[in-house]
Structure 1
């Protein structure tokens, strides 16, 4: 039986990927200039980043409960199972709302087999999990097999990233304001990672060259099976740096594939222009 896949806009994958693979799409919300938009639907990342460079402070909120419910209902009506791989619950309330909406839908469709996974991933790391889930769906696996495999994939996914200005993360409550102040001094670049779906500072490095070199070192310490995996790179208004990082990764590890994509407006509203993030599978 076919298993349908659902994901949200925080995966930072192009809309064309969702459309080509018939994946249900749930947009998070972005507020800018007292107007509310749907991420990747009525506002795009470049618009948000440009506004931030001009001093604006966009805010984000979880996906609309009704949008989530309507998406679930769409697949419930097919009589086939569905799997929603959700943005990290440590960064958004979308997962919790989805669980509530799933319960409502199941009251109307009690036989609907809907599974929801808290990916504990973000941006293109989350996107890699969605891509992996899609491959499993196409290969004809059962929903139980897909759910188990995707949870394991997410548990071994590393997120290593840096930002130009920690003020944006502090403004959104993602890190402390004290950390933001220190990080803004003397060209110190923060290196962060994810632990249990939350952003955790790793270390501080002075200068871009040392930063990129340190990212490669961290990848070497944590990564494994490079020839068999896809590495993700997401970036915000700094494609040149992302391309430089891509070349360093290719030279050091020769992975099966490297995919790149801009950070979406929901994630970008918190990380800001100059964000660079690398995603890869860790050692088992």
Structure 2
């Protein structure tokens, strides 16, 4: 049995069956929408949210877990005499990392807790968590696992695009005029997570060209690729097959973007998230 307990947040979008089968705990972010506050759930529960989002004039907001929620998760693991590795969504897009650090200080056992700012989210965070769990099952020391993860997190990339610019406008990432002109001329941005923050990296006419740009960003030695979507499974599966054909040596999987990430992009958003091996 592993002596290491892994904790992450809900934006890793791990399947419930995997969570239940491993020494793993999810501390969820919250979504505020249409006057209600709900904890972000697991994959398979997102389509209802995106359906409501498409029909609503309201724009959701999100909030990080409290330090108290992380502390509760820590106490559960510490009571079983386990060490803890925490992997969080990038600190550049959420305060979740700070909550996790504060909780470690409050626990009285910070020497048994390693908190890692993943500098990423979604499929890449999921992959890092799965690596941590695998290494923990191999009884690797916590320090060795943390050292590996701190290197691996920098060997990763994210590219995203959207169906409509409306949600970027509502979220304050685009002006009203910019959204109007962009939608009129079918301009699709390609967004990246650069140094832990969301930044525009390119723009194209039409979604097909945006997806081509996203594929072109994948390094030749990519080992794990997630094709992610917000309520666009058919389109995403077509893209996954295309990516798999171009990168036959990589593991290419389909995954979902949940409300916390997808709310800022809107229904129909697509992402390609990838990691390449650590070589030193």
TM-score by length of structure 2 reads 0.91
Q: Which residue of 1 aligns with 2:59?
A: 57
Does the 8 Å CA contact 2:116/2:150 hold for their aligned counterparts?
A: yes
TM-score by length of structure 1 reads 0.89
Does the 8 Å CA contact 1:128/1:232 hold for their aligned counterparts?
A: no
How far has the Cα of 1:24 moved from its partner?
1.1
Q: Which residue of 1 aligns with 2:216?
A: 217
Does the 8 Å CA contact 2:10/2:41 hold for their aligned counterparts?
A: yes
How far has the Cα of 1:77 moved from its partner?
1.3
Within a 5 Å distance, the mapping from 1:217-256 to structure 2 comes to 217-219=216-218, 223-226=219-222, 229-256=223-250
The 1:128/1:182 distance shift into structure 2, 3 A limit, reads farther
Within a 5 Å distance, the mapping from 1:178-189 to structure 2 comes to 180-189=179-188
Does the 8 Å CA contact 1:89/1:118 hold for their aligned counterparts?
A: yes
Q: Which residue of 1 aligns with 2:251?
A: 257
96, 99, 104: which is aligned to 1:97?
99
1:103-146, Cα deviation, whole Å (9 max, x unpaired): 1112xx46x50000000101112111111212211122111111
How far has the Cα of 1:255 moved from its partner?
3.2
Does the 8 Å CA contact 1:183/1:190 hold for their aligned counterparts?
A: no
Alignment RMSD: 2.0
Within a 5 Å distance, the mapping from 1:39-188 to structure 2 comes to 39-40=40-41, 44-55=45-56, 56-106=58-108, 109=109, 113-173=112-172, 175-177=173-175, 180-188=179-187
User: Given the alignment of the two structures, is residue 7 of structure 1 paired with residue 3 of structure 2, yes or no?
Assistant: no
More displaced 10-residue stretch of structure 1: 8-17 or 86-95: 8-17
Q: Which residue of 2 aligns with 1:25?
A: 26
Q: Which residue of 2 aligns with 1:269?
A: 263
Does the 8 Å CA contact 1:236/1:276 hold for their aligned counterparts?
A: yes
Which structure 2 residue ranges, 5 or more long, are not aligned? none
Give the structure with the higher percent helix.
1
Q: Distance in 2 between matches of 1:83 and 1:214?
A: 35
Q: Distance in 2 between matches of 1:208 and 1:133?
A: 35
How far has the Cα of 1:225 moved from its partner?
2.4
Q: Distance in 2 between matches of 1:94 and 1:104?
A: 15
Which structure 1 residue ranges, 5 or more long, are not aligned? none
Q: Distance in 1 between matches of 2:112 and 2:90?
A: 22
Q: State the number of aligned residues.
A: 274
Secondary structure of the corresponding residue to residue 155 of structure 1: coil
